[in-house]
Amino acid sequence: MFSQSRILCPQLRKKVMSANQAAQFIEHGDTVGMSGFTGAGHPKSLPAALVEKAKAHHLESKPFRIDLWTGASTAPELDGLLAEVDGINRRLPYQSDPICRKQINEGHMHYVDIHLSEVSQYAWSGFLGKLNTAVIEVAGIHEDGRIIPSSSIGNNKTWVEQADKVILEVNDKQSIKLEGMHDIYYGTALPPHRKPILLSNPSDRIGEQYLQIPVEKIVAVIETSSPDRNSPFSPADDCSNQIAAHILDFFDHEIKQGRLPASLLPIQSGVGNIPNAVLDGLDKGAYKNLTAYTEVIQDGMLNMLKSGTLSAASATAFSLSPDAMDELNENIDFYREKIILRQQDISNHPEIVRRLGIIAMNGLLEADIYGNVNSTHVMGTRMMNGIGGSGDFARNGYLSIFMTPSVAKNGAISAIVPMVSHVDHTEHDVKVIVTEQGLADLRGLSPRQRATTVIEKCAHPMYKEKLLDYYERACHNGRGMHTPHILSESLSWHERFEETGHM
């Protein structure tokens, strides 16, 4: 199949088989931990084989459903195809697939939404039950059995340690020059045996370049040749650029006030058009030698590394457009010296985030006038994607910035509401809210001060008067002046949208 095999270990070459053969190691009711994080490094062949196995079971009127654990979201070829054939019983810790989302919100698929930094601890502590099989994509295997990781690490270290059986997919579409980019830390432990993690700079290396997997635990090796799922980002629109401009002005102000150094502090950024607009703005500014300690390397960070704006970036995976992936592969020798990929219990580790003083920038679905943020649930009940790592960084970061357009669905929905319909990040964890209308710095403000600031700075003009009216009437009733609310009306905006399609 390949002109030159990437499986150099003689013992593992004997275990090479087809994906359909390897799928026989997974049975109905099993729990399977798969690699993959934001479309990078997920297995490409075995999921399709499991789909065919599920179809065969269904023809015999037999069920075939597994519990599926990953690093984060994967791709339609994994989540979507398995969900489409009713192949997933329970999913965790993050997903973004529309078929999965539909089944979750219909109550057909169980979904466990967990802070990404905690997944490994949940698994090690037995909170999630037994892990039967790990299915991990890798870039190659050395003669002595050392495993070269792929384009994401995520929870791979935990999966191969916890699983009874390991299936490897060796993918020759992953650059073999990824070797040396990874830093897998083997010093983690459960309480009371934990020790300090000696990482004091995003560029520090504290682990090993390879995954350690006992050869006898590996039951199958599949050779694949399929690229990651890389979707292009839409060009930044006016709204994204305005949000980015507010954040960049805020950084400049904080530097002048002496609250940030000229090179800022390590940045963390969610994925999407608004974060990429912020990164583009940083790259066009006067900033130099910035660092990133984040979950994913996206297009904007590659540009910043190439220009010298960013000197080092630590993450657990890539999330790149096709053009950016070509750029990475063509210049991987350069990027390998500046990018470090770690497992997600280190990339998202709360203690490291707090100690490094991360500037966390993440999106939201809605925020209320007091600064509580909902990043997961539409109208309080319907899951969108999940909390991901935003809580890891927001609660522990030096600055936690949440950003969003002020309205959605052509103005039918206000992102700023009297009370959020679901709380992921409480007012205690949210320091800054930004929309295209402006930026609300909530640090040191009382609830009533936050309310007037959020309404004035962030609300869209078509909703500003309504929000002020609600707030003033809440204050007027005098029932609780610390955080004034009219409980009978606090979620009426959501109810109105459900009934009429407009807040």
- The residues assigned a catalytic role are 295
Instruction: Please name which of 291, 308, 302, 294 lies closest in space to residue 325, comparing C-alpha atoms.
Output: 302
What is the torsional sign of CA 363, 367, 373, 377?
Answer: negative
DSSP 271-294: SSHHHHHHHHHHHHTT--SEEEE-
Q: Which residues pair with 441 in a beta bridge?
A: 432
Q: Compute the C-alpha angle 425/429/430, nearest 5°.
A: 85
Q: How many CA within 13 A on the CB side of residue 299?
A: 21
Q: Which residues pair with 366 in a beta bridge?
A: 374
Distance, first Cα to last Cα, the chain: 57
Alpha-helical segments (H) within 293-389? 299-307, 322-330, 332-336, 344-347, 350-356
Contacts 24+ apart (CB under 8 A), 438-446: 438/246, 439/246, 439/247, 439/249, 439/250, 441/250, 442/371, 446/482
User: CA-to-CA distance for 48 and 148, rounded, in angstroms?
Assistant: 24
Q: Which two tokens stand for residue 343?
A: 């497992």
Instruction: Please name which of 400, 408, 434, 80 lies closest in space to residue 229, comparing C-alpha atoms.
Output: 80
- Under a CB-based contact definition with an 8 Å cutoff, are residues 244 and 436 in contact? no
Q: Which two tokens stand for residue 325?
A: 């992936």
